């Protein structure tokens, strides 16, 4: 499944990443040095954890340095599939299923096959599936390959505050919606539900008077919150029963997430078709019919948000990313456009 998850009759638990190697600037400790063209990023556009990396890669301008493979949003018991590519095979790695890269790294690996995943192209081996660390390393270890004008997504002077904010967002929002959605008892569900909206209330208060979560520019904290919020009304409100209110009914968070969606590097990575088809078709324990809802109406995502009045500089001293590469554009009809 997406991220690293354990489902079943026992209490929902998100597993720690089994393959937590780091790709670092010199590679001395990890054995994996930053090197343009050496690695391939494998994502599902449906997965919020993988979407973090898609956004970071776009904002930092790493498209040419770190190639991209996008899987089918519907995986089967053989793992994530490359059925969107000719011949149902990734054209660079030459594999049909992501598990093949995991098997190349560790024979008979017993855990789940998750995205995001970074694969070493020369050997075909998985390097890392550490969704918590990958984006931090893109921001701090891959700097030699950043585009000119790339923003500082993890500024050193603000890291303590960013980490604190991200911790609460992870526990009660990013992971909280999953805890609610996969709860197997009423008590477990209600506890997770309360956590989700407790944190969303705190975030509402925080964002009522400032444009971004930490400082006056976009940081890693905003990326991590965005990927859950952008899925909220489409899947988490109904499918995961986080239904106290829709995001569109919260004026502050709705304006905040639209502001980010309309910022280059965010909305142009979002594929609502993949998101809905994955959650409603794969999670048959929650939705046994696999019927994908026709709604919600997506037209509001492109409406004015008014957050400019709070000030802030989206890219700090940098500039917006360039156009999306032609072969990475979200298909027409999969997201609203102005």
Calculate mean pLDDT across residues 198-210: 98
Region(s) of the chain under CATH 1.20.1050.10: 158-328
Question: What is the CATH number that goes with domain 5-145?
Answer: 3.40.30.10
Rounded Cα–Cα distance for residues 213 and 219 (Å): 8
- The pLDDT-based confidence of 1 (bands split at 50, 70, 90) is very low
Question: Across all residues in the chain, what is the average pLDDT?
Answer: 94
- The pLDDT of residue 111 is 82
- How many percent of the chain have pLDDT more than 90? 90
108-148 pLDDT per residue, tens: 887 889 999 999 999 999 999 999 999 999 999 999 999 99
Calculate mean pLDDT across residues 254-281: 98
- The pLDDT of residue 30 is 85
Closest CA to 276 of 75, 71, 45: 45
- The pLDDT-based confidence of 18 (bands split at 50, 70, 90) is confident
Q: Is 295 exposed, middle or buried (0-12, 13-18, 19+ CB in 10 A)?
A: exposed
- The pLDDT of residue 78 is 86
User: Which active-site residues does the annotation give?
Assistant: 47, 178
Rounded Cα–Cα distance for residues 54 and 4 (Å): 18
- The pLDDT-based confidence of 8 (bands split at 50, 70, 90) is very low
> Would you identify the CATH topology of the domain 158-328?
Glutathione S-transferase Yfyf (Class Pi); Chain A, domain 2 (1.20.1050)
Q: What is the per-residue burial (b if ≥16 Cβ within 10 Å, else e) of 229-256?
A: bbbbbbbbbbbbbbeeeebbebebbbbb
pTM of the full predicted structure? 0.95
Which residues are paired to 6 by β-bridges? 13
Q: Check whether 259 has a pLDDT greater than 90.
A: yes
Angle at 127 between CA 40 and CA 69, to 5 degrees: 25
- The pLDDT of residue 77 is 87
Region(s) of the chain under CATH 3.40.30.10: 5-145
Calculate mean pLDDT across residues 60-69: 98
Closest CA to 71 of 117, 108, 107: 117
Calculate mean pLDDT across residues 237-249: 98
Closest CA to 221 of 182, 278, 268, 164: 164
């Amino acid at each position: 499944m997406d991220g690293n998850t354990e489902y079943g009759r026992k209490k929902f638990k998100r597993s720690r990443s089994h393959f937590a190697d780091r790709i670092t600037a010199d590679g001395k400790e990890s054995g994996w040095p930053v090197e343009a063209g050496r690695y391939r990023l494998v994502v599902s556009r449906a997965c919020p954890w993988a979407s973090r990396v898609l956004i970071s890669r776009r904002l930092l301008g790493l498209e040419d340095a770190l190639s991209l493979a996008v899987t089918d949003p519907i995986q089967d018991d053989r793992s994530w599939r490359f059925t969107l590519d000719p011949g149902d095979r990734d054209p660079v790695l030459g594999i049909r299923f992501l598990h093949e890269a995991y098997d190349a790294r560790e024979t008979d690996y017993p855990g789940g096959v998750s995205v995001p995943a970074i694969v070493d192209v020369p050997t075909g081996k998985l390097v890392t599936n550490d969704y918590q660390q990958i984006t931090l390393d893109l921001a701090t270890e891959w700097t030699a390959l950043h585009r000119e004008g790339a923003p500082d997504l993890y500024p050193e002077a603000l890291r303590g505050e960013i980490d604190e904010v991200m911790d609460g967002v992870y526990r009660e929002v990013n992971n909280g919606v999953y805890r609610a959605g996969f709860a197997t008892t009423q008590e477990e569900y209600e506890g997770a539900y309360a956590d989700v909206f407790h944190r969303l209330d705190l975030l509402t208060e925080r964002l009522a008077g400032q444009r971004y979560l930490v400082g006056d520019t976009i940081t890693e904290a905003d990326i991590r919150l965005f990927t859950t919020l952008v899925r909220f009304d489409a899947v988490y409100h109904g499918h995961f029963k986080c239904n106290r209110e829709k995001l569109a009914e919260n004026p502050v968070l709705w304006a905040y997430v639209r502001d980010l969606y309309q910022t280059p590097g965010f909305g142009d990575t979002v594929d609502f078709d993949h998101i809905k088809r994955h959650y409603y078709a794969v999670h048959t324990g929650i939705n046994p019919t696999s019927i994908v809802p026709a709604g919600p109406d997506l037209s509001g995502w492109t409406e004015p948000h008014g957050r400019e009045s709070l000030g802030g500089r989206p890219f700090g001293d940098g500039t917006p990313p360039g156009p999306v590469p032609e072969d990475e554009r979200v298909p027409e009809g999969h997201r609203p456009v102005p």
